Amino acid sequence: MSFFSRVLGGNTPENQQSGADTIAKICDRVQSSTLLDDRRDAVRALKALSKKYRLEVGTQAMDILVNVLETDRSDAEITGYALDTLFNLLSAYIEEDEQNEDLPNGDVRDPEELKLCVQFAEIFIKNPNNIPLVLGLLEDYEFRVRWPAIKLLTTLLSYQASQVQQYVLGSPMGVSKMMDLLSDNREVIRNDGLLLLIQLTKGNANIQKIVAFENAFERLLEIMSEEGGSDGGIVVEDCLLLLINLLKKNSSNQSFFKEGGLILRITPFFNIQKDSSWSAQKVNNVHLMLQVVRILVAPSNPQQATGACQKVIHQCGLLKFLCDVLMASGVPADILTETINTVSEVIRGCRVNQDFFAAVSAPSNPPRPAIVVLLMSMVNEKQPFLLRCAVLYCFQCFLYKNEIGQEQIIATLLPATADVSAVTAGQLLCGGLFSTDPLSNWCASVALAHALKDNPTQKEQLLRVQLATGLGNPPVSLLQQCTNLMAQPSVKFQTRLGLLILLSSWVAHSQLAVSHFLGHPGNVPFLTSQVAEDADEQEVLVQGLCAFLLGICTQFNDNSNKNFTKESLQQIIAKRIGVETFIEKLEAVSKHESYTQAAKKPQLKFDSIDKVLFDYEFTALFKVLEISVIKAIQVGDDSDAKKTVDDHNSIVTQYKDIIRDQDTHLGELKISNEELTREYRKSQSLLVEQSSQIQQLRDQYVLLKAQHGNQTGQGDGAESNEGQTLETTGSSEGSAEHKKQLATLEQSLEDKEKELEELRGRLASTQSADNVDSSAAQNDDSEVTSLKTRLEQQIELAEKYRLQNEEVTSQLQQAGSGNDNSALLAEKAAMSTKMTDLEVRLSKLETDNARLSNENKELSGAKDTMETQLREASAKAANPEIAIALQRVQQERDELTQEVKRLEVEKEGLEGDVKGVRQEMDDLLVLLTETDEKKTIYKQKLEDLNQEVSDNELEVEEGEEEDDDDEDYEGEEEDGQA
């Protein structure tokens, strides 16, 4: 009873009894009434009682209510009441209308009642039909149904998220139905839909992805824009919470967000007007927006994904907006801190963004780089602690994988380049290093360590820095000053840790820095004494780091300092500290809570100022060197360790050499490959050029052929060729030329033929004359014989010519057979057919000649008869008539003789022609041989390039050469005529 009275507040037992009875009655009515109106009234009554009599209604009516949802779904009102009742039963929050309760609105009920709610929720969820049933009701557009269904689901999710999520995933279009709520034009539905989705997406990547697939990003950004962006109200905050749920630890959605161009869409939210007011809501909104950006570029994301997002954030101007916020005035400190953290992660390891950040300047007078302004805050005690940590994080991210940035920072410390007039990063860091504020000391030390990280050049550069300690005192190096400072008894613990972090980072991996450090005789004894002492809990860390520094000095010792060689240091450690103690002290560091905390992630996260002991980058260095340092200080294993290390080193060197050799070899091969490729390309282009030239020449040839066809009447072909050959180049030139000459030759042969015909005609006339008068036959006979011999000679010449022609043809064919170029081949073929034509003509000429000689024989036969006739006639008597006739015959014979003489001259000319043609043939042959040779050379070149050879690269012929040949030919012709 006491339980009930507690639950039901101030009710008396009678009231409870009647309450329970009433509820039982109502339940009965809901189940048994046949009229919908009655059932509806009963459920309404249940709803009214559900807050006051949670236990009774819950235990008796839950199943009945679910039943109502199933059977009376068609009636919105009763469904709505049933859902409201269920919600009232399960909700742990005090509703606005619960006026009778003293508790303020929105508060959680007392634990007992909360337990009851949880139990009812469990019972409700246990039935696998219930969640799909409520999900189905979400589809009902009716406000009285949809709204309580949303609230009920939200409540259920808040109790048993993973189970409800599984139901939602299992029911078809479950997530889609919830996503549709965001498109509801009733704001209440939309806003509560947002709350539902926030609950739904918590910790379930599959649901997050489906929600994103259903265009959640776009929709959320639309709602945020509608609600006024960063100046908007709580709805914007809800949207951002959902956005963060969807993106956090979900690389698929992050990639989708980036690929969807949504980074560009969130950019305007950061365009914060100057001097704008910062309401609490706006602070929340901007803070969450910054979270969204940080999720996209978190250092823990895959480098590729972060890099891609960083690029986009810079490109779409978001980084600029962020930097504007950074430099703006009136920005609340926590927003400023978070903005610094965000900028840090946006620029971390991304050179373009780091360079952009380096160029940002603050709107001060004179304008200073943003980095300097930020560092001023870092070493300023009055600035908020978290802001100072954020600045250090920003500095760390700025220098992460940024050698040029490191160089620029160190340069501001160097004597040669330090600008005295302006405030520089170096000055601020030095100031911080030696200020009286321990946190400033620590931050400046760690910041300097970041400027030296993985950068041997800067480690050595910084050794040059000398500090003036006071009037009259000699300058002290920065390295020594740090050590000196550490030894001062008044120095705080945090400062000493910071300085040890700086010194360890500085001398690690740098033999020169180590020898500088060992150069001061007091340093090693100081460190040894620190480690050897007994110490309290905090001092353990200082001792550990002192041991670490000693170890580094041993490991990276070049033995240049005779007092502190590697071996002597090993002995000092073994004798003064003891190897066991040394290792113990070293291990104490990595076991420390602050160490493990700092090693988790790059961002510095400290609860309070005194927890600031380590930073992420130093823990990384410590992790790497811890083992090797322990090895380096072991005296017992000295020879072995040294040996193995030496062996190891030598092996490494060996491999390095091999790799170097291979590298150079690879480089050579690459170069030669490039050369070969270049040559190959050149050859190919040459081939293309040449083939195009051949094509051109073929065209030209056709043209020339046509021209030549017009020039058939022209006797001297060579002269007309002169002009044309100048225009023609390339391998086919010789052929064209050759062809032209052949044509000329043909021409002259035709002439000759004509002349022969003429001659034949004349001979025929002589014959007839002889028939009339045979007295001249004797002379005639001798002339005919000479004519015959001439003819025979001519035939011989023709035969020779034919042979040469054949030779040239075969040469051409040979050249042609070696030539893959079809164009050239065709030309050659054409040429050879020309040659054959010529041959045919020659053979015709021969037959003509043969016929002529036959005729001559006949003629001589006729002359014989004429002779006999003449003899007979002279024997008969000297007849005056015959004498006259004889005289006439003699005259005619004289004429004939003259004719023959003229013919002879002409024949000589013809002979000269033939000679000339032969000369030309020879020249042509020479040209062809040359061409062949060049071709072979080219082929060889290409073969050297491992290249399939196409044989069409015949070398270009010089027009002048042709001209010379022509001139020679003419000269010879003249000689022959002379």
Partner 1 sequence: MSYAYLFKYIIIGDTGVGKSCLLLQFTDKRFQPVHDLTIGVEFGARMINIDGKQIKLQIWDTAGQESFRSITRSYYRGAAGALLVYDITRRDTFNHLTTWLEDARQHSSSNMVIMLIGNKSDLEARRDVKKEEGEAFAREHGLIFMETSAKTAANVEEAFINTAKEIYQKIQEGVFDINNEANGIKLGPQHNTVNPAQPSGDRGQQGGQGCC
Interacting positions 294-333 with partner 1 (CB under 8 A):
316
The neighbouring-strand residues paired with 369 are 361
Q: Which is nearer to partner 1, 213 or 493 (CB)?
A: 213
DSSP secondary structure code for residue 880 in this structure: H
For position 264 contacting partner 1 by CB under 8 A, the verdict is yes
Q: Which is nearer to partner 1, 253 or 725 (CB)?
A: 253
The neighbouring-strand residues paired with 362 are 368
Spatial CB neighbours of 950, under 8 Å, sequence gap ≥ 6: 687, 820, 821
Using the contact rule CB under 8 A, the part of the chain among 169-177, 514-522, 548-556, 797-805 near partner 1 is: 169-177
Spatial CB neighbours of 591, under 8 Å, sequence gap ≥ 6: none
For position 214 contacting partner 1 by CB under 8 A, the verdict is yes
Using the contact rule CB under 8 A, the part of the chain among 212-220, 388-396, 509-517, 656-664 near partner 1 is: 212-220
3-state secondary structure 696-756: HHHHHHHHHHHHHHHCCCCCCHHHHHHHHHHHCCCCHHHHHHHHHHHHHHHHHHHHHHHHH
Using the contact rule CB under 8 A, the part of the chain among 30-38, 248-256, 699-707, 928-936 near partner 1 is: 248-256
For position 487 contacting partner 1 by CB under 8 A, the verdict is no
Q: Which is nearer to partner 1, 132 or 818 (CB)?
A: 132
For position 123 contacting partner 1 by CB under 8 A, the verdict is no
C-alpha–C-alpha distance, residues 58 and 87, integer Å = 11
Q: Which stretch of DSSP H or E encloses residue 362?
A: strand 361-362
Q: Which is nearer to partner 1, 181 or 391 (CB)?
A: 181
C-alpha–C-alpha distance, residues 243 and 238, integer Å = 9
For position 260 contacting partner 1 by CB under 8 A, the verdict is yes
DSSP secondary structure code for residue 642 in this structure: H
C-alpha–C-alpha distance, residues 200 and 171, integer Å = 14
Q: Which is nearer to partner 1, 254 or 931 (CB)?
A: 254
Using the contact rule CB under 8 A, the part of the chain among 2-10, 113-121, 206-214, 820-828 near partner 1 is: 206-214
What six digits make up the tokens of 905? 């001259």
C-alpha–C-alpha distance, residues 343 and 310, integer Å = 10
C-alpha–C-alpha distance, residues 149 and 74, integer Å = 15
Q: How far is CA 568 from CA 554, 574, 635, in A?
A: 9, 10, 10
Q: What are phi and psi of 607, to 5 degrees?
A: -75, -40
Interacting positions 54-73 with partner 1 (CB under 8 A):
none
C-alpha–C-alpha distance, residues 961 and 508, integer Å = 78
Q: Which is nearer to partner 1, 317 or 519 (CB)?
A: 317
DSSP secondary structure code for residue 878 in this structure: -
Omega before 366 within 30 of 0, i.e. cis: yes
User: Total binding residues for partner 1 by CB under 8 A?
Assistant: 29
The neighbouring-strand residues paired with 467 are 476
Min dist CB 312 to partner 1, Å, is 9
C-alpha–C-alpha distance, residues 401 and 310, integer Å = 15
Using the contact rule CB under 8 A, the part of the chain among 56-64, 105-113, 208-216, 559-567 near partner 1 is: 208-216
Residue owning tokens 């100022």: 609
Q: Which of 162, 206, 279, 793 binds partner 1 (CB under 8 A)?
A: 206
Strands (E), 675-815: none
Q: Which of 205, 283, 588, 885 binds partner 1 (CB under 8 A)?
A: 205
Q: Which is nearer to partner 1, 317 or 431 (CB)?
A: 317
For position 213 contacting partner 1 by CB under 8 A, the verdict is yes
**Which residue type occupies 210?**
I
Q: What are phi and psi of 893, to 5 degrees?
A: -60, -40
Min dist CB 304 to partner 1, Å, is 10
Q: Which of 132, 268, 909, 959 binds partner 1 (CB under 8 A)?
A: 268
The neighbouring-strand residues paired with 476 are 467
Compute the chain's Rg from CA coordinates: 56
Spatial CB neighbours of 627, under 8 Å, sequence gap ≥ 6: none
Residue owning tokens 């022509």: 966
Q: Which of 201, 230, 253, 725 binds partner 1 (CB under 8 A)?
A: 253
Using the contact rule CB under 8 A, the part of the chain among 165-173, 432-440, 522-530, 600-608 near partner 1 is: 165-173
Of 745, 790, 799, which is closest to residue 763 (Cα–Cα)? Answer: 790
End-to-end CA distance of the chain: 155
* Helical spans, DSSP H, in 384-477: 385-399, 403-411, 425-433, 438-452, 456-462
Min dist CB 218 to partner 1, Å, is 8
For position 735 contacting partner 1 by CB under 8 A, the verdict is no
For position 182 contacting partner 1 by CB under 8 A, the verdict is no
For position 261 contacting partner 1 by CB under 8 A, the verdict is yes
Binding mask 5-44 for partner 1 (x = CB under 8 A): ----------------------------------------
For position 267 contacting partner 1 by CB under 8 A, the verdict is yes
For position 259 contacting partner 1 by CB under 8 A, the verdict is yes
C-alpha–C-alpha distance, residues 803 and 808, integer Å = 9
For position 252 contacting partner 1 by CB under 8 A, the verdict is yes
For position 248 contacting partner 1 by CB under 8 A, the verdict is no
For position 675 contacting partner 1 by CB under 8 A, the verdict is no
Using the contact rule CB under 8 A, the part of the chain among 187-195, 213-221, 348-356, 509-517 near partner 1 is: 213-221
* Helical spans, DSSP H, in 508-578: 511-519, 523-532, 537-555, 566-572
Strands 466-467 and 476-477, bridge-based pairing: antiparallel
Q: Which is nearer to partner 1, 199 or 481 (CB)?
A: 199
Q: Which is nearer to partner 1, 264 or 945 (CB)?
A: 264
For position 226 contacting partner 1 by CB under 8 A, the verdict is yes
For position 493 contacting partner 1 by CB under 8 A, the verdict is no
Min dist CB 648 to partner 1, Å, is 33
C-alpha–C-alpha distance, residues 215 and 178, integer Å = 12
The neighbouring-strand residues paired with 93 are 108
Min dist CB 315 to partner 1, Å, is 9
For position 235 contacting partner 1 by CB under 8 A, the verdict is no
- Helix, coil or strand: residue 467: strand
For position 869 contacting partner 1 by CB under 8 A, the verdict is no
Concatenating the DSSP letter of every residue in 897-908 gives: HHHHHHHHHHHH
For position 161 contacting partner 1 by CB under 8 A, the verdict is no
Q: Which of 101, 140, 222, 679 binds partner 1 (CB under 8 A)?
A: 222
Cα-Cα-Cα-Cα dihedral sign, residues 971, 976, 977, 978: positive
For position 265 contacting partner 1 by CB under 8 A, the verdict is yes
For position 170 contacting partner 1 by CB under 8 A, the verdict is yes
Using the contact rule CB under 8 A, the part of the chain among 45-53, 209-217, 319-327, 600-608 near partner 1 is: 209-217
Min dist CB 543 to partner 1, Å, is 46
Q: Which of 29, 73, 109, 209 binds partner 1 (CB under 8 A)?
A: 209
Q: Which is nearer to partner 1, 211 or 531 (CB)?
A: 211
Min dist CB 187 to partner 1, Å, is 16
C-alpha–C-alpha distance, residues 789 and 972, integer Å = 25
Contact, 399 vs 450, CB < 8 A?
A: yes
Q: Which is nearer to partner 1, 42 or 182 (CB)?
A: 182
Q: Which of 19, 58, 174, 816 binds partner 1 (CB under 8 A)?
A: 174
For position 203 contacting partner 1 by CB under 8 A, the verdict is no
Q: Which is nearer to partner 1, 172 or 366 (CB)?
A: 172
Q: Which of 27, 64, 200, 210 binds partner 1 (CB under 8 A)?
A: 210
**Binding stretches for partner 1 (CB under 8 A):** 169-170, 172-176, 205-206, 209-210, 213-215, 222, 225-226, 252-253, 255-256, 259-261, 264-265, 267-268, 316
